[in-house]
Amino acid sequence: MIETGIPKLDEYLGGIPPGKSLIFSIEPGVEESNMGIHVLHHVLEKGLHGMYVASESSPKNLKKAFSEFGWDVKKYERLTVIDGYSSLIGSPSDEQYVVEEPHDIKSYEDALMMALENITGSGVIVFDSLSTMMDMCGERETLEGIATINDEIGGSQFAAVYNFIAWPYKEAIFYRIRRLFNAIVDVSVVEDVATRQRMHVRKVDWQDGAEGRGFDFKIFKPEGFRIYIPKISVVGPFQSGKTTFIKALATQFTPVERMGASVGLEYGLVDYRGYRADVFGIPGQERFLPLLGKLGASSMGILLLVDATRPHEFEFAKRILATFPGIPYVIVANKQDLPGALKEAEVRERFGLPDAVVVEASALRGEGVHEAFMKLVNIIVEGPHAR
């Protein structure tokens, strides 16, 4: 299996088997459209071969695209560029493999076959992009050529990854494309709380249960691909340890503390295991209760903090939770470092919420903090059945 390096997608697909093809069908105008480059980089990092078929911008631009993520193309000896661009604009090419006639898909085929013959080993071939090739070589002709190319790759140790911008082509073209590839992953724009992108597995013929699954992400520079959750709110009664919790969780933190109490909206940026979330801490004094709904509006998930040594506050905590109906939540039984802190099962029972996810934590010691975060993001991304 050849991993894509894209979190969640690898989990769903189990990677791409050598010989198979995957197409990213990308809505025009998304912030970042070059999905293939991330797969290319990941595969190169793993020490495998990476071929990059450039048809819409100069091979030199790959260096720039890599450098935006802090990657250095020179580092990868197993990177091969198949240049379908230079001939197009009539400039000389520095690459070993050149598509001499960029208006003929056969010429792409020839260059690729030559590369495949010369390079032994396993890896990925990234086409950037299929849509440009179609525009240059004709839609039907290109797809016929791609069928041949996919057959050839089928007998090799390489997996094929295509970037495809889904311009408004005729339906017949989309119909053909749906049949031509082993896997189709749609990439679209999501705009609600914050702009981000969505990946949705439309088809995959080597893995059961992956079709229809998806996740939201954003590509950050230079950090790269992240499953992105624009708003998680940390709520809970006064002095339940919200600030300490966010500090322990966040990579970056903006405090709003006055004499040990938080008097405004705290913000923390969490970057953890391929996930990124903007986390907001909402003050827990009772006088803030009427504002809770507004401050926490459009939260994608709630971390409800309680002091596990103060069960009499759980009733108030439940009232806080009730202001966010239908939003995924995790109850954090904090202050496990203190004697007498109630354990998971007991907290669940006292709350009277038998299905609630409860995580024991000590924000002070940084224990259980990331566990609670990961449980919550899993529920957000995968739905309530995920635990």
Partner 1 sequence: MLAKTGMDRLDELMKGGIPQKSNVVVYAPPFIGKEIILKRFAAAGLEEGERVIFVLTDKSFADMKEEMEKLVPSYREYESKGMVQYIDVYSSSVELKEESEWVTFVDSPVNRERIASSITQSLKKNEGHSRIIFDSISTLIVYSDAKAVFRFLQVLSGVCKRMDATSLFSMTRGMHEEIEVQTIKHLMDGVIELREEGARFQLRVQGCGEVISRHWIDYLLEENEIRLTGAFRMGRVA
Alpha-carbon separation of residue 354 from 300, 335, 383 (angstroms)? 22, 22, 18
**Between 57 and 150, CB nearer to partner 1:** 57
Binding site for partner 1 (CB under 8 A): 26, 28-33, 55-58, 60-61, 63-64, 67, 85, 88-89, 129, 131-132, 135-136, 165, 167-169, 195
| β 158-165/21-26 pair status | parallel
CB of 50 to partner 1, least distance (A): 20
Alpha-carbon separation of residue 315 from 62, 214, 350, 376, 382 (angstroms)? 57, 36, 9, 22, 29
Which amino acid, one-letter code, is at 174?
A: F
Secondary structure (3-state) at 193: coil
Determine the Cα–Cα distance for residues 384 and 199; give it in Å rounded to an integer. 19
Contact 387, 378 (CB under 8 A): yes
CB of 138 to partner 1, least distance (A): 9
CB of 179 to partner 1, least distance (A): 21
**Between 72 and 117, CB nearer to partner 1:** 72
Determine the Cα–Cα distance for residues 66 and 73; give it in Å rounded to an integer. 7
CB of 288 to partner 1, least distance (A): 30
**Between 196 and 213, CB nearer to partner 1:** 196
CB of 165 to partner 1, least distance (A): 5
**Between 72 and 208, CB nearer to partner 1:** 72
**Between 180 and 189, CB nearer to partner 1:** 189
CB of 43 to partner 1, least distance (A): 23
CB of 167 to partner 1, least distance (A): 4
**Between 102 and 214, CB nearer to partner 1:** 102
Residue 105's Cβ-side half-sphere holds a number of Cα atoms within 13 Å equal to 22
First to last CA, the chain: 27
Determine the Cα–Cα distance for residues 337 and 376; give it in Å rounded to an integer. 22
**Between 92 and 326, CB nearer to partner 1:** 92
CB of 162 to partner 1, least distance (A): 13
**Between 28 and 384, CB nearer to partner 1:** 28
CB of 219 to partner 1, least distance (A): 12
**Between 36 and 237, CB nearer to partner 1:** 36
Residue 168's Cβ-side half-sphere holds a number of Cα atoms within 13 Å equal to 0
User: In 236-378, where do the E strands start and end?
Assistant: 252-254, 257-258, 261-262, 266-272, 275-281, 301-307, 329-334, 358-360
- With tokens 């969780």, the residue in question is 249
CB of 171 to partner 1, least distance (A): 13
**Between 55 and 299, CB nearer to partner 1:** 55
What DSSP character marks residue 358?
A: E
The closest alpha carbon to 282, from 263, 257, 306, belongs to 263
In 10 A of CB 108, how many CB atoms?
25
Element (H, E) at 83: strand 79-83
Alpha-carbon separation of residue 76 from 47, 53, 72, 136, 156 (angstroms)? 8, 16, 8, 30, 21
